[in-house]
Amino acid sequence: MMGFQVVLLWSDLLIWLLVAVGIGVGVFIARNPPLLAAWRRVGASRVGMAAATVLLVFVVVGLLDSLHYRRQLDGKPGQKASYAVEVLSLLDAIAAPLRSRNEKTYSEPFATRLYAKETVDVPGRGQVREYPRLKFGGAHLGEREGEVAADVGFTAFRAAVIGVLAWLAVVAAAIGAVAWQGGVSHGEAGRRIWAGETRFAWNAVLATLAAVFLVVVPLLWLAGGYHVFGTDKVGQDVLYQVLKSVRTGLIIGLVTTLVTLPLAVLLGIVAGYFRGWVDDLIQYLYTVLNSIPGVLLIAAAVLMMQVVIDTHPQWFSTAAERADLRLLALCFILGITSWTGLCRLLRGETLKLRELEYIQAAQAFGVSSWRIIVRHILPNLMHIVIIALVMDFSGLVLAEAVLSYVGIGVDPTMVSFGTMINNARMELGREPAVWWSLAAAFAAMFILVLAANLFADAVRDAFDPRAA
């Protein structure tokens, strides 16, 4: 049995730290009645729960891609174990056919031949110009290339049946949970779910899962025999690139929050509460940052960081560690340059809160300023923080795409939606045009950003004090 060595990248550590923090926050919310009531309003939103279900699919893909390892190389008995330089993830192991079955160059979705003609030697005919057969795409058909449509339809139908059976299992589990919680029969629980009479929007979640199963299961099943999204210039499967891009987008959107949140909350509350020269200093700081064009500031910081990385190759034992450091540097830079908006918002709200009667009463009784901030100011600002952070997630995902498009984003060796779109620039200019890489990246990013925005709307409506 081949061994492996666990590899813990810094981004992996931060992602799993965020998961642990999320679990801790969930426990805290469960013990806090006002927050629990607000999140129950989020759970009752059909649109919000449908979006959350889609986001959960992306999160699962990102977490599978955040468990890294290096395979052990074959060696002589008794010899010290050595490991491959390539760093793989659990997602790579699951999607091994997509990762390893590379073609020579471009091929269309569900194609059985390359996209461009080549000169090949044909016995008895000499050299002719034709579209060469793919090594893996549709190879199971053999000479029956004309049966692609029928084979795809039949395979998709079988996979859809399996998807429906899996969905029915989830429905049965949901009905059982509602019946147990409400103390009713399973038939009554099913009626309540589909009538929308449950406190949690089960009908929206189940309907979204039905769509996910009907799309994802046939897609993955077909990926075993075809390149469902085609291949790129070097023959790599585009579906595999889309899956690998999910983790990059999630890291940009989530890890940047770790940098943005402390700066914005601390400086915003301090400026609004203490006022005077402290307020003037913090206002001067974020005014200066806002006066510099964001793209230029980010470009300068990324280029300086790249110089540091290039001059210290001894820091990295693998290319994955080098790309990971640049990704974290980009998150840090985006966090440093994107905290000003939330800081200004929290400053204005703190200026209003400090004039309320209960704050002035606490000051009159001699309660320390920091105790007032922690016990009274901060809890009353958390709804603004949650709303701002959830809504900024989609903006950060789009920012990575734009920055990678102009060449100052993630490392070129790391797959992301931005690098896919950047590579598509030249592909669209060739004849015939290669459109599927851009379409796949755009569709996946559109679904991710749309789901994040819809979920943010549900959170905003639930935490809006005027809606309480």
76-96 pLDDT, tens digit each: 676 777 777 788 889 988 888
CA distances from 48 to 43, 44, 214, 326 (A): 7, 8, 21, 34
Name, of 59-63, 98-102, 115-119, 290-294, the range with top average pLDDT.
Answer: 59-63
Is residue 468 over pLDDT 60? no
Task: Return the amino acid letter for 129.
Answer: R
Q: What is the model's pTM?
A: 0.86
Pair of tokens at residue 356: 């309320």
Confidence of residue 1 (pLDDT cuts 50, 70, 90): very low
| pLDDT score for 205 | 92
- 432 DSSP 8-state letter: S
Residues 343 and 346: their CA atoms lie apart, in Å, by 5
Find the helix or strand (DSSP H, E) in which 120 lies: strand 118-122
User: What average pLDDT does range 369-388 have in this prediction?
Assistant: 82
Query: Once rounded to an integer, what is the mean pLDDT over residues 278-291?
Result: 86
pLDDT reported for residue 112: 86
**Is pLDDT above 90 for 140?**
no
Q: Is the pLDDT of residue 213 over 80?
A: yes
Per the structure block, which two tokens stand in for 15? 């992602």
| pLDDT score of 374 | 83
Helical residues (DSSP H) of 183-293, grouped into ranges = 186-195, 202-222, 238-274, 276-291
The domains located in the chain, with CATH, are 242-467 (1.10.3720.10)
With a pLDDT cut of 70, the percent of the chain lying above it is 97
**Among 74-88, 127-141, 247-261, 356-370, which stretch is predicted with the lowest mean pLDDT?**
74-88
DSSP string across 15-77: HHHHHHHHHHHHHHHHT-HHHHHHHHHHHH-HHHHHHHHHHHHHHHHHHHTT-EEEEBPP--T
Amino acid at 408: I
Under DSSP, is residue 133 helix (H, G, I), strand (E, B) or coil? strand
